A and B are shown apart, each in its own frame.
Chain A
Amino acid sequence: MRKDLDEFKKQKFVIGSIIAMPIILGVVMPLAMFVPMVTMVPLDRPWDIDGLLQIGSLPDNAVTPWTNQTIGDASFDATIFKHTVLKNVSLTHCIIESCIIENTTIVDTTITNSSLSNSYLMNVTVIHSEGTRLDGRYILAISSDLMFTRTKPSEIDQVLPMMFNMILMIFIIIPATLPTIIATYSIVGEKNNRSLEPLLATPTTDGELLAGKIFSSFLPSIGATLLAFTLGVVLLDIVLIPKVGYPPLPNLTWILSIVLLAPTACLMSVLACVLVSSKVSDVRAAQQLGGFIVMPVVLLMVGVLAGFIFLSPVMIFVFAGLYGCLDLGLFFFAKAIFNREAILTKWS
């Protein structure tokens, strides 16, 4: 392994392409996708004043003691507010309808048909409120005026996971593709340089030889992937934080992908490339065949892009487990069919 890494360090063009490709794919492309999106998609939502009931007009079943008033600097518990302006109040277990709420802490409360600004909500159900006609239980705040926790995904947040999944596939394709540059050369290159015979004449076992070739291709590939991943995550967060208010990456799916899925996909590619390299007599043939090797990962990418597969943590474990089993199978297969005599006697 050390010899292969030492030889690898001397090949400046190979190193350059191994570093440049992940950066282009993993950093430049995502930025090219996200920067226009976050600059063009309107994230600041205007208040939907039409959606609010007019202050002063109560429904017949109104039972709230607080109507048509402006209340401020107080705390309320288990209270109904309708058509009220609330400022600098603390509300717990309340029902709020058709109010204007500013600078308020609201806990365990139902809000209906109201507008909110500069308010902090915790465990709040918001119905038909906030000017964007958001329904349901949770709201994800995009506007800098609002701070929400445990809130409903907004439109942008419905789109972001899908886009993150697509971008994530880049960091799975990269480690599956890079080995076709390095690993295909591993054995057939030694054949061509006539350095294989003295190597095979050493007491090294077939397993040790294969393991050395595998890891000398695996380490640079996964290293370049991690570099691109880190740069990509940092730059995407820099672009997105001003818009979403928090660093969306890396999330659990991304962490599991880079820790489990990328290495297993990389190993699968390396193993297949080393296997091909031990069987062909020409580096170009090995590299051409190497192109087929990434098919399992390409199929995953197609599934993700087509929407058939959504990369959740569970799916990551499933695919990582699948690739891991393939890796084990490939290693033992490569070891079983590795034949010193065939390699030595059947080259051109």
Chain B
Amino acid sequence: MSVSRFLARRLLHSIFVLLGLSIVIFIIARIMPGDPARMAVGARAPQWVVDRLREQMHLNSPLPVQYFYWLRDALRGDFGMSLVTQRSVTNDIKEFLPASLELVFFAAVLAAVGGIGLGVISARYKDTWIDNVVRIFSYTGVVMPSFVFAIIFVLLFGWMLNWFPVIGRLSEQTAAPPLVTGLMTVDSLIAGRPDAFVDALRHLILPALALAMGSMAQEARITRSSMADNLNKDYIASARALGIPERDVMGRFLLKPSLIPTVSILGLDIAAMLSIAFLVELIFNWPGIARYGMSAMLHKDLNAISAVILVLGVGFILVNIIVDITVARLDPRIRMRAARSE
């Protein structure tokens, strides 16, 4: 079996999917009523300006040709100008994407650690009150949308208890660290500024938690049920019969195979976080790509919309590839099946 061939097939498939996605985005951008050239220059510009721009934007060519030009530019990283910010969309995305990545990354860590931790505790103390508390928590997490969590967190921890700030990425009195990665916490560490790091972290906690709650709940549920299922399997009984210490049975024999469904779902959840971030960023005034994309959508800023969807689509596909590789590492059966189907 070869991991590289598995990976190669996966990548090829992803490229195909991305191409398809680009066609879908292009169609969405073109079904929009109204003349993109007219929208770009504004209602008061004279007709000859619009005509020249139409020529420049290849809007008079047939659709497949237009698509070709659009794709060529997109591959070069050129998505045109944003109608709202009046800057190149690529620059906008470079500016706003890191904030979202930081948020999603932090939320993913919270979801993974919290979800698996709670699931393991729940399975370990199955059918006790601890288990019941965790199960009620995870049901709440599943039925409550992230924006409801966000609002409750703002109200509870932001205003009533006043534990955490609820707006933006840094307090006003904290000077921003020099821009290196765009991740505020990492940049503060690079600049050797513990005060900024703590401040950035405090801003990060509530939005990340609101984003992570649903996924954390689901992870806890899945880890619990998959551990409970595997607990009844023969190989656990035989491991115990061999006198292997209970801690090793739990930690090595039970946990690893039980994490396979958790990891697959976690991947889907992280990918979904990219989109749920749209609402969370809105509530916490988080200057990320979702908030940028949202304002683009409300202003019908087509170039920005296309770019945001494409960037998020790439992110989604990347996360899925990483998940597939992780799952294949955890589960030898999948690797073997992939090798056999060659």
A binds B: no
Residues on B lying within 8 angstroms of A by beta carbon are none
Residues on A lying within 8 angstroms of B by beta carbon are none
